[in-house]
Structure 1
């Protein structure tokens, strides 16, 4: 299907184009949702040109691209149409403000030379006083030795000091000591916000909502944890205490399942 040959004012809407292409391909909304991992309510909303349920422009572009490929439509013109209808794609952040922000960062605290000098002076005074009083005692001791027989004095035994018990070394990760008989999944939104859905092995919903940038959620189940990541490229995963490396892209929707033992993508 081509949408680039008609004038801009007369071309069909994004939702209408995707709906007609789906019908022409003989696919139902349920089948599209299963193959694209886009939830059924969101598919219905997009086909009605309602992008408010996508969670933002980044997610909306990702859903449009995913649905277009599923029904055999070139996604690039639809993305351009989406940006044009909303005033164009947001411009990237200019470099100048980043450098300005770097300049206004607070300077590192300089060493307190005054305090260091005072401490040095106190140490010198203490050493001089000790030398003066200790030297006098030493002189008297020498005179006593010259006038009488030499006697050996035993030095007092040092009193053993009680050493503090060694502190336990910190673990490599806050979730390194996860229970071995359960599966533990920690989800952190590192680069951007992301819509997250998590379920236990019996279908119980553990969480369904948006995880803001910098937020984390930890899910535990005795057998399995199922995840849906709406913006997988922004997510960092720790499964059973291990950092899961991935190549997810921004706006990409991923369905994952994890069980006990080494992390394995479902």
Structure 2
């Protein structure tokens, strides 16, 4: 149907409906055609209908619903044969909203069709059963092998245990002899290590030893010009006895290494760096002071003088 005919059909059907005093809901109820399709027919928008076949079917039903002669009405617009029969909508599907959806009817499946549709499922089921059977056979086989292997291992274990027991008895006496020998060897090794350690300690002590040489007194100063010192940092001990004493220690370059007062009965240690070629010590109370270098006592030779000076030159 062309657009002009569609528009004319829609207008005539709409006018007939209005003349009858019916609404689109009334027409939908009587024809079971959706209201949106009825509205499309009235507006001539047949392209919104399911198809050309149902355009004619819906128009005939609409014409019948508004009291028109459907055959004459269709002949008027299409010159169709009066024997044209509207599609049988009795087989059309009716949804839950009681509205016919034309063209949605499906032919009932035959037994052969159902069998063909079920065949893939049957095949899949058979395959699954076969796989399960294969898995069961494999698992059973492995279980039997594992059981037999466990039994064999148990027998071997018992035999091995017996052999091991006999060997242990035969080796017991040999082990005792070996242990005694090892004990003696260990004792000798320990003695050797102790001797080596003692020798190492003696060498270390010798390396740290200081040889002051002979001191020379001039005025209020005693000088040790050739002190044999280890090539490492030394420690000078300044101890105050029978009273406190003020002291200052400087290196040969004049850098003060330490100064302060040492309280009675206390000892102050001063680090003499490896770079120092000598030191000078000023003492405020020489009668109450004792000086040592790396625990080697230094004779101040102060002759009862209170203020005293000590000078040292190192040979490393």
Q: Same fold (TM over 0.5)?
A: no
What is the TM-score normalised by the length of structure 1? Answer: 0.33
Decide which structure has the larger Cα Rg and report it. Answer: 2
Structure with bigger helix share is: 2
1 or 2 for the larger relative contact order (CA 8 Å, sep ≥6)?
1
What is the TM-score normalised by the length of structure 2? Answer: 0.28
